[in-house]
């Protein structure tokens, strides 16, 4: 299998990405981290609300919105893309509701029919438009193009005054940002993702109480005067925006993993929502870094490798979780016995 799986060389896999290809690695890891963090944060709520598969549906069905926006505006600019994705997200939610409320088709089938129809429309639109479309193709839909993120860096020229100021700021004076008198800002897609992640975090902080109450106790939320429908649709809108900004980098299907994996991992390890958010962010960082090394080693898609790394982290959490881990299950009998002994000791002690 040596032709297929390259040998693991420490130098090539672990050191070179950071030593020699720093600018490429840094932007890919940052992009991966931002996407996984934003998806993971909102994914926590999806999991709590048992809406993980609505995320699945929306991630498939933003495609026709994107394709239409792209075919109309002939560009992948932020505004038309966001409008297209929001429209597609709303259409998805409405279609699912319509099918399962108006007929006897159950919600699961309604979800399946809706997203497959919209996704098929998207793929056909892209296939027909492929002659003049350069950036949006079926490859991008499936694999994501996170590897191309560092290719279009935005740079500005600094005047001598600014240059001396910038050079004094620690971190900015490295070769990553400063090339002669050219200051590298960031690839536009990373900037957009950073804004989206920041807004997501901000909204979660500001509306923490509303999201918490509507997720756990719908009765309490209506008695507090919180409109659960508005919260639901706002969450769906935010989800569409996050998915569309992640779309180009990781594709339609891998984004589902980014939505669910961090939240599922944290739900195995913690019971308090703030702790879960913390674990989500750590999971995002580890899977982005792990993914880039895995991709370097195996020479495969970085987006796919990040998800594989995230799945591996989930598997670790599943095995070692202190409350519901597999180890605990396998050796649970001994632990029970220990507990009994300890209780006995405590009882005798008092």
User: What is the binding site for other proteins (CB under 8 A)?
Assistant: 1-5, 47, 50-53, 55-56, 99, 102-106, 108-109, 111-113, 116-117, 119-121, 123-124, 127-128, 130, 138, 142-143, 253-254, 256-261, 263-264, 267-268, 294-295, 298-301, 303-305, 307-308, 311, 314, 318, 321, 324, 326, 329
Nearer to other proteins, 47 or 249 (CB): 47
Nearer to other proteins, 186 or 256 (CB): 256
**Beta carbons of 296 and 12 less than 8 angstroms apart:** yes
For 207-229, letters b (16+ CB in 10 Å) and e give eeebbbbbbeeeeebeeeebeee
Going by DSSP bridges, is the β-strand pair 155-157/182-184 parallel, antiparallel, or unpaired? antiparallel
Distance separating alpha carbons of residues 322 and 65, to the nearest angstrom: 43
CB of 342 to other proteins, least distance (A): 25
Nearer to other proteins, 239 or 257 (CB): 257
Q: What is the DSSP letter of 254?
A: H
81 contacts: CB under 8 Å, gap ≥ 6: 66, 69, 70, 244
Distance separating alpha carbons of residues 125 and 255, to the nearest angstrom: 21
CB of 173 to other proteins, least distance (A): 36
CB of 135 to other proteins, least distance (A): 17
Cα-based angle 337, 343, 348 (whole degrees, multiple of 5): 130
CB of 282 to other proteins, least distance (A): 18
Nearer to other proteins, 81 or 111 (CB): 111
CB of 100 to other proteins, least distance (A): 10
Rounded to 5 degrees, φ, ψ at 52 are -55, -35
Nearer to other proteins, 209 or 329 (CB): 329
Nearer to other proteins, 184 or 214 (CB): 214
CB of 61 to other proteins, least distance (A): 12
């Amino acid at each position: 299998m040596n032709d297929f799986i390259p040998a693991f060389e420490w130098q090539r896999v672990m050191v070179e990405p950071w030593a020699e290809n720093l600018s490429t690695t840094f932007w890919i890891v940052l992009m991966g981290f931002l996407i996984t963090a934003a998806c993971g944060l909102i994914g926590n709520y999806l999991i709590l609300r048992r809406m993980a598969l609505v995320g699945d549906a929306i991630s498939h069905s933003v495609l026709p919105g994107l394709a239409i926006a792209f075919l109309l505006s002939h560009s992948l600019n932020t505004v038309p893309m966001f409008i297209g994705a929001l429209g597609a997200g709303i259409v998805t939610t409405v279609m699912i509701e319509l099918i399962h409320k108006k007929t006897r088709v159950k919600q699961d089938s309604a979800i399946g029919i809706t997203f497959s129809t919209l996704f098929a429309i998207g793929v056909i639109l892209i296939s027909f438009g492929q002659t003049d479309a350069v950036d949006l193709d079926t490859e991008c839909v499936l694999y994501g193009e996170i590897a191309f993120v560092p290719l279009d860096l935005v740079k500005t020229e600094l005047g001598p005054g600014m240059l001396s100021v910038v050079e004094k700021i620690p971190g900015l004076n490295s070769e990553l940002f400063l090339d002669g008198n050219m200051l590298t800002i960031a690839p536009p897609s990373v900037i957009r993702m950073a804004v989206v992640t920041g807004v997501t975090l901000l909204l979660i902080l500001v509306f923490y109480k509303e999201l918490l109450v509507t997720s756990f106790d719908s009765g309490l939320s209506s008695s507090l005067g919180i409109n659960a429908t508005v919260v639901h649709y706002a969450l769906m809108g935010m989800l569409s925006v996050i998915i569309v900004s992640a779309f180009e980098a990781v594709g339609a299907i891998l984004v589902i993993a980014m939505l669910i994996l961090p939240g599922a991992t944290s739900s195995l390890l913690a019971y308090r929502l703030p702790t879960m958010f913390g674990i989500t962010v750590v999971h995002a960082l580890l899977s982005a870094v792990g993914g880039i090394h895995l991709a370097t080693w195996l020479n495969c898609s970085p987006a796919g490798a990040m998800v594989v790394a995230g799945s591996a982290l989930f598997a670790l959490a599943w095995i070692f979780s202190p409350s519901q881990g597999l180890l605990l299950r396998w050796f649970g009998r001994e632990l029970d016995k220990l507990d009994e002994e300890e209780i006995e000791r405590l009882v005798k002690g008092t």
